[in-house]
Amino acid sequence: MTEPKSVRPAEAAALLGVCRDTVYVLMRSGRLRSVKLGRARLIPVASIEELLTATEEYAA
């Protein structure tokens, strides 16, 4: 099975290890890119990976 190119906020929260509200805060602040598709908000997996990489570099 192939990996999805984008995920919903709840799935992004699970991948990041944070609550869903934190994902919305990250989207509003611009640290996590998102796309609105109808009523749904989708987050590109690449954006999650970029955030994780930036966080790891900051922590190091």
Query: For position 40, what pLDDT does the model report?
Result: 95
Our count of domains for the chain comes to: 1
pLDDT over 80 (residue 27)? yes
pTM above 0.95, yes or no: no
Full domain range(s) for residue 48: 6-59
Return the SS3 of 60: coil
Task: Give the integer Cα–Cα distance in Å for 44 and 7.
Answer: 6
- pLDDT tens for 32-50 read 999 999 999 999 999 999 9
Residue 1 lies in a domain: no
Helix and strand element counts for the chain (H, E): 3, 3
Residue 24 lies in a domain: yes
CA angle 58-53-25, nearest 5°?
80
Task: Give the integer Cα–Cα distance in Å for 37 and 52.
Answer: 24
Task: Give the integer Cα–Cα distance in Å for 2 and 32.
Answer: 22
